[in-house]
Structure 1
Amino acid sequence: MAGASSRGGGDVAAAALRRCTATAIHSGADPAWSSRLTRPRERDGMVVVYGDARRRLERRATDGAPAVLRRSTAEEEEETRKKVTGGNGEKGEREWRVNVPVVGGHAGITIVPLFSQAVPKANLADEDIKAPTKRTQDGGTKVVQAKAGKGSATLSMAYAGALFADACLKDLNGVPDVVECSFVQSSITELPFFASKVKLGKNGVEEVLELGPMSDFEKQGLESLILELKSSIEKGIKFGNQ
């Protein structure tokens, strides 16, 4: 794996990426700039900035190496590794030992952590799940507020990206049953794209896993995210077709 920037240095970036087995592209921009974008229309502009950067890097990654396996991480994957101490800390579990799948999208109500599927099992009632769910959904926003416009939740994104890249390397090396949450094209909901558990293999995503059993509160969360996530997906598809 190699690091490369989408800004300038096209020949250098292409040379760095050409012999890579896997390229992890973390979509991002200047954190000070992106953290100031709060209104919906301003946030929409991030799709163009991030998408253009990713598109240019993908072209360089495949220049001269059409068989390269491209893996990308984006802001939504930050949410797959949010703290859950609000939901499990008082139960005696250290946060890094708890695995909670997060499905849906990457912003606000489109983020739905499935605490009912936590490993180890949390045994939380719906009333107990509401607070940590809100905390997870607003995690990135709270970091932006704490930094007072000087950055975003970059460490969370970097950590999530590193874990996902590690998972990709494991499956490339033949490690079986590697499962991570990822935003992919799927048919497990009425939406064409959705973040959920996927089984990774040498050729990428081998299987999009079903959502599994959920609490009534989590089912309501899935119903509530449909319109907002659908709108975001449509904007992304429109950009991709330009």
Structure 2
Amino acid sequence: MQNLTKVTLALVAGLTALAAPAAAQEVRAAGAATYADLVDLADPADLVIRAQIRDQALLSPERAPGVRRGYGRLYVEARTQALIAGSAPIGESIRYLVDVPLDENGKPPKLKKREVILFARAAGRPGEIQLIAPTAQLPWSEEHEARLRPILAELSAPDAPPSVLGVRDILSMPGNLAGESETQMFLNTDGEGPVSITVVRRPNMAPVWGVSWTEIVDQAARPPAKDTLAWYRIACFLPDGLPADANLAQDPTSRAQAEEDFRFVQQSLGPCRRNRS
């Protein structure tokens, strides 16, 4: 194995910077990555690589600051099997750092010859990559790759839904009939143009709702299908509760209706399950 002094300070510093917010992120059981787990990894990654580990070395604690308790940091040399996504050139051999759980004797798992999926960005030196989180490595399997490919295709599409940052405004308006109302919710995003959710209630009918990803508020819009990028953007990033200052209604009845419709949308979306904690 190459001398560990060739692990550059930039590579160590880069992973250390990620460790504080992301050190606890890991898939707790092999093969148990949820849809949200996969998008969490794929979305910020410039490179998604299938690789086979050729060698590993456990860094000493003084060379691995920020590692969570029960984990160790490995220096890994791997052989590129395929570039699943990304356009940056990578060589046949790559080097990176990854945090892995240690056993009761303080030993890391033996990963030599195992195939993995890496979610990374270029580290600035030939042959080096930096994982987007300290544990952004999954065991490769045909199932994992098959589930990833449609996610990557959605993320790279020109009309990909933008990331949702929260609720900007919500307003519920009563209709002309008892039990009739329409609630419009506008979301903050990291892209251009508003995203809106509309909830329509009619007497003696089940409430219906939909999301519009354009400037047009469309009553004919429908909810996003589960385990799609549009579903993930909303289900995984709506706040747990409606911010009080986002509710624009003045009268208590309309404010209460907005709260109820917000909860209705959340329940309809279902939980955003993650196995990376």
TM-score normalised to the size of structure 2?
0.20
When you count helix as a share of all residues, which structure comes out higher?
1
TM-score normalised to the size of structure 1?
0.22
When you count strand as a share of all residues, which structure comes out higher?
2
